[in-house]
Structure 1
Amino acid sequence: MMTDKIFENNQVTIAGEVESLFQYSHDVFGEGFYILDVRVNRLSTSNDTIPLMVSERLVDINEDLRGKNIEITGQFRSYNRHEENRNRLMLSVFVRELVVCDEEYVSQKPNYIFLDGYICKQPIYRKTPLGREIADLLLAVNRPYGKSDYIPCICWGRNARYAEKFQIGGHIQIWGRIQSREYQKKLDESEVERRVAYEVSVSKLEYLGDE
């Protein structure tokens, strides 16, 4: 099955506590999709809030799940939202299965992602003021019917040095976790807006060659 093969190249498992009500996003052929925010704890004391895209046909979107623990499987997807004469890349986890868990339940993969895709922008290697090595990648991951998702990924340390050499069109596989990061967007001279970016923090990557 082609679709099964495609779904294998973008796999996500998320487990955490629901932080929001279902918020309407959009319709596709009469099927409503809703955003649900889930807080996922990191190994450190911090956490990530990750937006899930959920179909009204999968769960009762009128139910208040706030404070409940859920585990989902799905895919990390992107779409362009048109804002003030420019497109903004929006990211969320498209949910294929959702389970409400007991309070005692401990997930084996609370924040797991695997992607198989292609470099679509020259990697950017840099060092933080504290000397930490980072490389930013943009990965195009194929979807059925000729579509692709564009996923920002961030590599650290020796993985960053390795990724710096990748060329556009290079085929790679990565394993990691989804993280949220707040930043400030300057709208004009006097106005600054707080926004949240989502990206994949890479723990392992493999270069499969140039296409």
Structure 2
Amino acid sequence: MINRVVMVGRMTRDPELRRTGSGAAVTSFTLALNRNYNSADGQQADYIPCVVWNKVAENVERYCSKGSLVGVEGRLRSRSYDNAQGQRVFVVEVVCDSVQFLETKSQRERMQAQSSQPQMQQPQMNNQFQDMQTVELEKQFDNTDNTFDIMEDDIQF
């Protein structure tokens, strides 16, 4: 069976780091994932609970905060427990194997500052940010040499 999850979203709150009885680090957070449509109740995003363990958990707590753009890869896990009122609670969450930080702190602060400016200027700022992201992606993938040295003997027909 295949159980793999890959998501990119923004954290809805600061990550919460806890320790198990044996001292292992566990961090939990929730990712907001935009939908391509509005649901019947008007909701435009899905909110997915995530859990990460050990060293990755410590790094997520240290370097991420509410609003951080992250990519996660992991697996779905369902579990249940009895709450304080004696009711059975069922939970479905993503157990993350890896978490990728997709923006720097300065980029996140710049975006937050832009969102506090008047609405008339915001689309222009978003386009500039998208252009900046495109340039960065082009730099990452433009390191290959696309020239080929093909001789007449290399052609099979």
TM-score by length of 2: 0.60
Partner of 1:202: 96
Identity of aligned residues (%): 29
Say which of 130, 135, 138 aligns to 2:30: 138
Partner of 2:46: 149
2:87 and 2:34 map into 1 onto residues whose CA distance is 32
DSSP-derived class of the 2:56 partner: helix
Structure 1 segments, 4+ long, off by >4 Å, are none
1:179 and 1:123 map into 2 onto residues whose CA distance is 19
Partner of 1:112: 4
Q: Unaligned stretches of 5+ in structure 1?
A: 1-14, 16-109
Say which of 146, 152, 162 aligns to 2:59: 162
User: Number of residues paired by the alignment?
Assistant: 99
> How far apart are 1:195 and its partner, in Å?
2.0
Q: Unaligned stretches of 5+ in structure 2?
A: 39-43, 112-157
1:61-210 matches, within 5 Å, as 110-145=2-37, 147-165=44-62, 166-187=64-85, 192-209=86-103, 210=108
DSSP-derived class of the 2:83 partner: strand
> How far apart are 1:145 and its partner, in Å?
3.0
> How far apart are 1:184 and its partner, in Å?
1.1
| CA RMSD of superposed structures (Å) | 1.2
1:176 and 1:169 map into 2 onto residues whose CA distance is 20
> How far apart are 1:180 and its partner, in Å?
1.0
Show CA shifts across 1:24-48 (max 9, x none): xxxxxxxxxxxxxxxxxxxxxxxxx
DSSP-derived class of the 1:164 partner: helix
* Structure with a larger share of its residues in helix: 2
| Paired amino acid for 1:124 | E
DSSP-derived class of the 2:66 partner: coil
TM-score by length of 1: 0.45
> How far apart are 1:194 and its partner, in Å?
1.8
2:51 and 2:30 map into 1 onto residues whose CA distance is 9
* Bigger radius of gyration among the two: 2
